[in-house]
Structure 1
Amino acid sequence: MTMNPLHHALLSAQPDEAPFLSTLDGETISYGALRAKVARTAAALAAQGVKPGDRVLCQIAKAPEGLILYLATVFAGGVFVPLNTGYTPAEIDYFLDDAAPALLILDASTQAARGVAQARNVPLASPSDLTETSLAPLPPCPRKPDDLAAILYTSGTTGRSKGAMLTHENLISNARALQAEWHYQPSDTLIHALPIFHTHGLFVATNITLAAGADMIFLPAFDLGDIAAALPRATTMMGVPTFYTRMLGDDRFERAAMAHMRLVISGSAPLLAETHAAFQARTGHAILERYGMTETNMITSNPYAGARKAGTVGKPLAGVSLRLARPDDQGIGAIEVTGPNVTPGYWRNPEKTAETFAPDGWFITGDLGQIDADGYLSIVGREKDLVISGGFNIYPKEIETLIDALPGVLESAVFGIPHPDLGEAVAAAIVLRPGATADAEAILAALAPNLARFKTPRSLHFLPELPRNTMGKVQKNELRRNFTGAS
């Protein structure tokens, strides 16, 4: 094998002069410049001692250099390990121990981890040390499709973070499937406002852009002013539901301003049907919702051409198979998947790897789903979030949908807390709309005609906002911890 699969798939074909990236302050990078920067940065990594198979940890603020470091690490045969910029030195210490990297890359914003790295004798570098180099370009390191390209650490909501291993083939197959599913073309320009330490911004947004030979407007973070400034040049946008709820609160994002856009995509957290409807009414765009995980890349998508059903995440991508294990009498079952997109397992964690795969090799997502008559998947919730009260299975999503539809409610999260008699009791955290007043009795009375008594929350907790991780997912483990004993 003389080829580097990811390099060949994502960086080998585009014309030198074609644009790859631009920023609002005027920086531009063409595909020719990108290839040159990646090859020289790969040489700098090799000069730092990075060898094929070595892990390169990177904790830096979002910048174009982050994408160059990702591609250069894989180009050099290494394994890229991006770290959330919010991780503390104590958390970095765990990752250094677990990943055993050959190099840790820090910038001015993440220097707090320097002492931890020095204590462990891990070599350090800054982005400029590696990307601003005059070294001769390094040829792409030969790798096989099943060689590792990246490790992404999960958010660790149920214990220590696990390193999901992702191969060249995992990433390439998913980029190609998404490119075909979403009709991505060289003429597309993406608004990139996502973080790049997560699969959504690093792999979905970046790899599909590269695979298509398209370009992106690279924003440091989500900012309504920046989005509005980038919008006239864009054809596509990817975001989390929070992006779209905030855009709905800004008069600049209306039908005329977005008439030229081709595609608007949401993922990483559930999109409320109400948000889907409101956004379509305001802009004329039906948001395309898709479903994936760190360990599997993207699994399903609503169609580009065809009905984009609010509250569903569509059908499996080409090459991906999905099944519902142990369905109940409502057709709700545990979502399991197989395909070239699925991780081979967790880094240095064979026990957790074994737990996460069914005996026949299908990956157990931990999500619960239901498939409608048209084959569209709806995510009912996490299997670990299933509430079992008095022997009854209770699906939080059903209750959340009813609460969210009530006047004055912005959003809710339903979860289980220990109960001495029932095993678990249903609890709900509720965020009200501005100006609405908290009235627990009125909410419970409104739920009563549509909800069996055993499903009715025994406690309501009114919060200014729901606890979320950096990708917008509600942290129900935090709610359980905070409100245990409140039933």
Structure 2
Amino acid sequence: MGETVTAPASGNLYHLFESRFPADRTRRFLTLEDGPRQGVYYTYADIDAVSARFANVLVAMGVKPGDRVAVQVEKSAENVMLFLAVLRAGAVYLPLNTAYRRGEIAYFLEDAGPALVVCRPEDEAEMRELAAAAGVPQVATLGVAADGSLAEAGLEQPTTFATVPREKDDLAAILYTSGTTGRSKGAMMTHWNLGSNLLTLHDCWGFRPDDVLLHALPVFHTHGLFVGLGTVLLAGGSLLFLSRFDADAVLRLLPAATLMMGVPTFYTRLLAHPAFGRAQAATMRLFISGSAPLLADTHRAFQERTGHAILERYGMTEACMITSNPLEGDRIPGTVGFPLPGVELRVVGEDGAVLGPEETGVIEIRGPNLFKGYWNRPDKTAEEMRPDGFFITGDVGKVDARGYVHIVGRAKDLIISGGFNVYPKEVETVLDALPGVVESAVFGLPHPDLGEAVAAVVQKHPGQDGLTEAAVIAAVKAELAGFKVPKRVWFVPELPRNTMGKVQKALLRDTHRSTFAPPTPGSPAGA
């Protein structure tokens, strides 16, 4: 403890981070634990120097305060430094999932109108083509080996940079999310949306300077980028940085860590590892889960195996973190805890009336963490905001008599697979365009590893015997990111519909609900 905290120089999120850096800047911030640079580490002094180099490059390339910088690169230390450099330059960070394909990227570039897009070196030719079509003036590259044009240009730049002052209400990032219909929407997050939430999480989760976070999450969404990195920066702590989750690597590193954040899939895979137990978790003070519902059975099994009760929380792109189970107190399986300090949460019925304890309805929220709105979509912003400033999350839930929040479903027909959001309409659009397909219905099914698996039922034209499950999956895989591709596809003569003609997805979901269920004891494998 005992670190001196200075007041931030402005509302810029980087200034907030910098005000909490340890006095000893030689302290380690990030150590690479896999990949071509395994063993390389960065200190707090390196944060300042490397992000300054990158900020100088951004300015030299014409990036101005308020400009968007789109980034689709693999997870690396330089990726983190680029994020911080964008903040320092006063620009707006736009992370893109590394699994996005050509058509998806084209839309994001056209919609956001970035001044610069940074991609993997191997994607440069295609990205330049997409950037030219979208009117993006600059393209740079950044690789996992600290290579690429951005890294090379950075070596020629000074290690100092005067961080651009920003107001708390200025944009810091745009993260694309979506509903169940139409194109993705860019959620605009301000410096204070993020900063206020991170300060709250820092306190609620008891972060300390000696904390070591095992970081195996991606850094293109809220969980890994803001929550994982931001809380550690505010604590002056350190990161053990894995490019992706690998159970063997996690087991190797856990004895050197004090915290881990993960999606439920991380915990199911650890439980499936025969070597995982109390010994590996002995140094840990906290396991945190989010981005998808954690099954109560997983929570209980993990506690029995390790003695640790996973802390489950609830968040979303538009608000970062909303609720959390307590650090001290009962972490109840199947709940996401209490609203965070400063966050207001209510449950409303179909008539908009606020419901009481144990009554189920749609969750609405309000607080300093709530986004500024959707980029260039005032219509969608107005549609999802109440006049009193509450945001309609689309999640169905209740608050129990003790004040714990329960998420019981989603009003929006969203699938969360392995912690990633999948929007059925986007997958259905690809399926419906396939030769021989009349119409499709995409939905999520319970999955022991992913939480939910994407599945599809397809109505095909008569005589289309060549349209097989394998062919359909291959076709979707060519168009969309892998996590959006259906794990199973079934064919039917007609899709079931109600009297209004709407496809009855609930019926399809119930029909195939046990598809991915593990076999019950005593039943034949695969039964």
TM interval, shorter chain, is 0.7 to 0.9
Asked if the contact 2:261–2:288 (Cα under 8 Å) also holds between the matched residues in 1, the reply is: yes
| 1:118 maps onto 2:132 in alignment | yes
Shift in CA distance, 4/381, structure 1 to aligned 2, threshold 3 Å: same
TM-score, reference length from structure 1: 0.81
What's the secondary structure of 1:384's corresponding residue?
Answer: coil
Shift of 1:11: 2.2
Determine whether 1:5 maps to 2:18.
no
Cα drift, residue 420 of structure 1: 3.2
Is the Cα contact below 8 Å between 2:396 and 2:411 reproduced in 1?
Answer: yes
Q: Secondary structure at the match of 1:299?
A: strand
Unaligned 5+ residue runs, structure 2? 1-7, 143-147, 415-444, 458-494
Shift of 1:100: 0.6
Q: What corresponds to 1:186 in structure 2?
A: 209
For residues 324-357 of structure 1, the C-alpha deviation after alignment (integer angstroms, 9 at most, x for no partner) is 1126796001111111100010000000000110
- Does residue 350 of structure 1 match 2:378? yes
Cα displacement (A) at 1:230: 1.4
Asked if 1:162 is matched to 2:185, the reply is: yes
- What secondary structure, in the 3-state scheme, does the structure 2 residue paired with 1:271 have? coil
The farther-off stretch of 67-76 and 418-427 is: 418-427
1:124-179 CA-to-partner distances (Å, cap 9, x unmatched) read: 01134334323122200011000000000115643211000000001100110000
CA distance in 2: counterparts of 1:121 and 1:409, whole angstroms: 41
Kindly report which structure 2 residues correspond to 1:124-273, keeping only aligned pairs within 5 A, or say none: 124-127=139-142, 128-131=148-151, 132-136=154-158, 137-154=160-177, 157-273=180-296
What whole-Å deviation, never above 9, does each CA across 1:432-469 have from its counterpart, x for those lacking one? Answer: 45555999xxxxxxxxxxxxxxxxxxxxxxx99xxxxx
CA distance in 1, matches of 2:316, 2:132: 33
- Counterpart for residue 472 of structure 1: none
**C-alpha contact 1:17 1:30 (8 A) present in aligned 2:** yes
The question of whether the paired residues in 2 share the 8 Å contact of 1:164 and 1:347 is answered with yes
Change in 2 beyond 3 A, CA 1:141/1:263: same
Cα shift at 1:4: 4.9
8 Å CA contact 1:200–1:268 kept in 2: the answer is yes
Q: CA deviation at 1:246?
A: 0.5
Instruction: For residues 179-238 of structure 1, give each alpha carbon's deviation from its aligned partner in whole angstroms, at most 9, with x where no partner exists.
Output: 000001111000100011010000010100101111100100011121112112100000
Give the CA RMSD over aligned residues: 2.8
2:325 counterpart residue number: 302
Q: Structure 1 residue 117: deviation in Å?
A: 1.2
- Percent identity over the alignment is 50
- Which whole-Å CA distance do the structure 2 matches of 1:328 and 1:119 have between them? 50
Cα shift at 1:419: 2.7
| Contact persistence 2:179–2:412 (CA under 8 A) | no
Unaligned runs of at least 5 residues, structure 1: 387-402, 440-462, 465-487
Aligned ranges for residues 256-405 of structure 1 at < 5 Å? 256-326=279-349, 331-385=359-413
Partner of 1:478: none
Contact map agreement 1:264 1:286 (CA 8 A) in 2: yes
Kindly tell me: are residues 431 and 286 of structure 1, through their superposed partners in 2, closer, same or farther at Cα, counting changes over 3 Å? farther
> Which amino acid in the other structure matches residue 371 of structure 1?
V
In structure 2, the partner of 1:17 is 26
| Cα distance change, pair 339–4 in 1 and its aligned pair in 2 (3 A) | closer
**Stretch of structure 1 that moved more, 415-424 or 363-372:** 415-424
Q: Is the 8 A contact 2:293 2:451 kept in 1?
A: no
Question: Contact (CA 8 Å) 1:58, 1:83: kept in 2 or not?
Answer: yes
SS at structure 2 position matched to 1:138: coil
Cα separation, partners in 2 of 1:432 and 1:116, compared to 1, 3 Å: closer
Establish whether residue 54 from structure 1 lines up as the match of residue 67 from structure 2.
Answer: yes
Q: Which amino acid is 2:106 matched to?
A: D
